[in-house]
């Protein structure tokens, strides 16, 4: 597995879920890169591209490039290699692409000394058991997460994206070195939006998550820096 890159001691990754680069940078300018990392997803990267990643890096932020690559092995290998060339801290693929695709992604980074963390999406936190049944899966969300996490570990990736609700079982199965990145995190009292399997930041860490992806609880606040500080303070108190 990849040696963890030094960065903020905070486990918080702020999701920059914006439609354009200007809005994302305006929010980033209100945050301290010593207190968090940031996530760039499909909408923002499609709108603003690599230049946005470079602008965030120039501001001192480490980047989780959340593009969930899912394609034939050769295409995913090239995409992961390109993400590494951008200097991102973490990049993800979709475990549903299968073993050969996952192994190709790992191989694409094998010769790099500065390789990013490579993780795989298991089951989107917007999906519940009923959604999986509609797609033809007999497994529950929890069972499918465990299956895909096992495949991910066997293929040599660094960890998975999962709900914090699945974290205890994954931690027990794969040990402390397997990185668990958890979206669906909401501060107590915040609306859950389109997420289904959600927990608070303190609950996420207690359940075994390594990193907490937090969006609206910070980006939707009138005082994003204050919201981030309050969440970090709450995590310290919980510990």
Q: Which residues are catalytic?
A: 66, 68, 71
Tokens of 124: 């989107």
The verdict on whether residue 68 carries a ligand-binding annotation is yes
**Calpha distance 83→92 (Å, rounded):** 10
The verdict on whether residue 70 carries a ligand-binding annotation is yes
The verdict on whether residue 125 carries a ligand-binding annotation is yes
Backbone dihedral angles phi then psi of residue 34, each to the nearest 5 degrees: -75, -10
The verdict on whether residue 122 carries a ligand-binding annotation is no
**Which residues does 185 contact at the CB level (< 8 Å), separation at least 6?**
164, 198, 199, 200, 201, 204, 212, 213, 214, 217
The verdict on whether residue 169 carries a ligand-binding annotation is no
**Calpha distance 193→2 (Å, rounded):** 33
The verdict on whether residue 197 carries a ligand-binding annotation is no
Partners of 120 in the β-ladder: 93, 160
The verdict on whether residue 194 carries a ligand-binding annotation is no
Partners of 177 in the β-ladder: none
The verdict on whether residue 17 carries a ligand-binding annotation is yes
The verdict on whether residue 42 carries a ligand-binding annotation is no
Partners of 40 in the β-ladder: 65
**Calpha distance 183→164 (Å, rounded):** 8
The verdict on whether residue 71 carries a ligand-binding annotation is yes
The verdict on whether residue 115 carries a ligand-binding annotation is no
Backbone dihedral angles phi then psi of residue 15, each to the nearest 5 degrees: -80, 115
Q: Give the start-end residues of each E strand in 73-172.
A: 90-94, 117-121, 159-161
The verdict on whether residue 150 carries a ligand-binding annotation is no
Nearest CA to 8 out of 237, 229, 234 is that of 229
Burial environment of residue 215 by CB neighbours within 10 A (0 to 12, 13 to 18, 19 or more): buried
The verdict on whether residue 219 carries a ligand-binding annotation is no
Residue list, annotated binding site: 17, 39, 66-75, 125, 186, 195, 215-216
The annotated binding site for substrate is made up of 17, 39, 66-75, 125, 186, 195, 215-216
């Amino acid at each position: 597995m990849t040696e963890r890159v030094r960065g903020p001691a905070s486990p918080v990754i702020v999701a920059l879920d914006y439609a354009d680069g200007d809005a994302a940078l305006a929010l980033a300018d209100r945050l301290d890169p010593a207190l968090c990392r940031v996530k760039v997803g499909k909408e923002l990267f499609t709108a603003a591209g690599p230049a946005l990643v470079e602008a965030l890096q120039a501001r001192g932020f480490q980047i989780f490039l959340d593009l969930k690559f899912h394609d034939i092995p050769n295409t995913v290998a090239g995409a992961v290699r390109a993400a590494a060339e951008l200097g991102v801290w973490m990049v993800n693929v979709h475990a549903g692409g299968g073993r050969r695709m996952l192994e190709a992604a790992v191989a694409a980074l094998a010769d790099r000394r500065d390789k990013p963390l490579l993780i795989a999406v298991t089951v989107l936190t917007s999906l519940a058991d009923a959604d999986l049944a509609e797609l033809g899966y007999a497994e529950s969300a929890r069972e499918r997460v465990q299956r895909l996490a096992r495949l991910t570990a066997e293929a040599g990736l660094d960890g998975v994206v999962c709900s914090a609700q699945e974290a205890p079982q994954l931690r027990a199965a794969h040990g402390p070195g397997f990185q668990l990145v958890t979206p669906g995190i909401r501060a107590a009292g915040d609306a859950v939006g389109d997420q289904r399997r959600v927990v608070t930041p303190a609950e996420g860490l207690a359940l075994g998550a390594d990193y907490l992806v937090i969006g609206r609880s910070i980006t939707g606040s009138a005082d994003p820096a204050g919201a981030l500080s309050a969440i970090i303070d709450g995590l310290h108190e919980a510990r």
